[in-house]
Amino acid sequence: MDSSEQEKVDGDIGVEKKKDKTANGYGGDGGEPKGTASSADQDSGDFYDVEIEKSNGEKEEKPPQESKEESTSISSKTEEFNDKEITINSPKIYCNARNHYLPAIKSQAHLPKPDPPATPRVERSQSLSIAETMPSIGKYISDRSSSFSAAIVRRLSSWKEDNGDLVVKNDSLNLEVTEFHIPGVKVIVKLKSEAERLGLDLKGRISFFTRSNCRDCTAVRHFFREKGLIYVEINIDVFPKREKELIERTGSSQVPQIFFNEKWYGGLTALNELRNSGEMEVKLREMVGERCPEGAPPIPVYGVDDEEEEDDVLLETVRSLRKTLPIQDRLIKMKMVKNCFSGVDLVEGIMDHLDRGRKKSVITAKLMAQKHFFHHVFGENEFEEGNHFYRFLEHEPFIMGCFNYRSSTNDSEPKPASFLADRLSKLMFAILEAYASDDRLHVNYSGIDRSEEFRRYLNVARDLQRVNMKLLSPNERLALFLNLHNAMAIHAVISIGHPEGVLDKRAFFNEFLYLVGGYPYSLNIILNGTLRRNRTSPYSFFRPFSKGDRRLELAPPKLNPLIHFGLCNGTRSSPAVRFFTADGVENELRCAAKEYFQRGAIQFNMEKRTVYLTRIIKWYNEDFGTEKDILKWVMKYLDSTQSGLLAHLLADDGHINIMYQDYDWSGNL
């Protein structure tokens, strides 16, 4: 072969190799070319066009595979060049800028086909294009199909009871979906409800009356959920006016009371008899097979306030004073105080408006102060005539940060504190029953935000603005502040989200405020100022209340360490969310502590003589005593296995290492 022929061969092979590397490429299963040959040049001629992918990501037509004849011709000529050394030089190829086609020399049949480049191994962390991943995904699914079926059959078989029905064990709020975790794959299967499997076509309505925190009502609710039956629940603690209807229909206010369409069926006992009779499907078709008539209990109307509000008897006078008093900024004790007025001006304003003497006007002013229409600018007194300055509640600097404040203060007659405390607990019990998992470790905050129960709770929270908290007994105050803390935490998650960073935690615990009894309360103030009797919070050097703060009067007479296990801040490591009653708050706190420790708040390493405690105890160690006292105190709230292990460590008086678990700040969703 002379030099000119050798140059032609070098150019041909160089162009072909350039085409294979840049335009065509090779797949991982034999080196099929990816370029597209134009149909006009596919069978004859020396050139064909290679189509380039457009920069905007549009897919071009895929290349047709080379014919078997051409492949055979190439392979048959390969042996002629086995003993010859060929030098390949790749010449430059220029593309026509007006289209997306690259001219290239067609592969010669008498030349050997170069080996495709090795496909690099792709790690799992690298992202693949759809074209690269689809074949492997299809092959993977095909290979694992048999293992999928076997795993699902084994999982379903483990859920069969003696009667052969499937039992869905699922802690999530959606009881109809079960997740199967197979190595490498997550399969979600939606199971049919019992009503669907039995073919029950119920056109009527199942409804029942309930109360909050009622065991029998919970049992009825779970029964209908497990059967997959649609029902209407009428909670007379949420809708108080429906209690009168219940008495008219049944002659009693006892709950639960079940109705199939307009027919009153009975309570939990009657429902159990129906279930055990074996004729439940037949009875349901008879009683709820037809459309619901007008005589059935109506569905509760959402978004309508059926509770009457009564204006305060002093409201007319207060409104007049807001307009007539000289309210202005003043420099008092070297401090600039905004929007204040003097006590003398207040008394004279009352005298002019009510046409009373000075003595009666002073009494009226003190009554206004007791109802928290205004406060002393420095909190020095309730009200005294003289050179003292006061400020209306709506002008307080903290008022705009209170989330139970709506553009103006609540000027209605303050409701009794015991009534509001009871109403708040019942509404929050109803919220948990509807929007929390059975173990109360997972909360559906988006569902709560849209619920009627939460809307009515916000109305109760607004009624707390000027409530007289001093009228509550110690147990009532303890239960109210525990419940208020947990309710505020739910409201804070809905309004500002779970705390993630340092700034978020400050906003969540310190800046999310409620106006209660005329004063601002945050989660930090409720815990460290009120329930812990004005002790410093973790990593802080300042007490929540200064000397003379009137909120100190509401602190319990003695610190109870169990409060830490009744407070939920919306995180996974906090105790489960719960609410308390005034009559049983002490016993309910003990149950909360037992539940928390038995859920993993204490762990043991017997070989290293180490006890791992919840970090809550480290943060508030002054509430529990020394480390040895802590272990003895904790033993009262452990189960038999845990208490046995701890007793074994304490028996020989040897050294015990105490470590603290990491705290999970992620949300309890």
Closest CA to 344 of 390, 387, 393: 387
Percent of the chain past pLDDT 70, that is, above it, reads: 70
Which CATH fold topology does 314-394 show? Arc Repressor Mutant, subunit A (1.10.10)
| pLDDT for residue 48 is more than 80 | no
Instruction: Find the Cα–Cα–Cα–Cα dihedral 141, 145, 151, 156, rounded to 10°.
Output: 110
Average the pLDDT over each of 196-205, 267-276, 467-476, 610-619 and give the range with the smallest value: 196-205
| Domain boundaries of the chain, sorted by first residue | 194-287, 314-394, 417-590, 596-660
Q: What is the DSSP letter of 393?
A: G
Who contacts 429 (Cβ-Cβ below 8 Å, separation ≥6)? 212, 213, 237, 579
From the CB of residue 461, how many other CB atoms can be counted at a distance below 10 Å? 23
CB atoms inside a 10 Å sphere around CB 410? 21
The structure tokens 């009356």 sit at: 209
Please determine whether the domains at 194-287 and 314-394 fall in the same fold group of CATH.
no
637: left (phi over 0), alpha (psi -120 to 50) or beta: alpha
Helix (H, G, I), strand (E, B) or coil at 206: strand
E-state strands within 567-668: 602-605, 610-613, 657-660
HEC letters along 278-322: CCHHHHHHHHHCCCCCCCCCCCCCCCCCCCCCCECCCHHHHHHHH
Task: Give me the architecture of the 194-287 domain, per CATH.
Answer: 3-Layer(aba) Sandwich (3.40)
**pTM for this structure?**
0.72
Predicted confidence at residue 184, as pLDDT, reads 58
The pLDDT, as a whole number, for residue 389 is 96
Cβ(517)–Cβ(467) below 8 Å: yes
pLDDT tens per residue across span 239-297: 999 999 999 999 999 999 999 999 999 999 999 999 898 888 888 888 888 889 999 99
User: Across residues 197-204, what is the average pLDDT?
Assistant: 68
β-partners of residue 187 are 180
The span from the CA of 322 to the CA of 342, in Å, is 13
User: Who wins on pLDDT, 657 or 285?
Assistant: 657
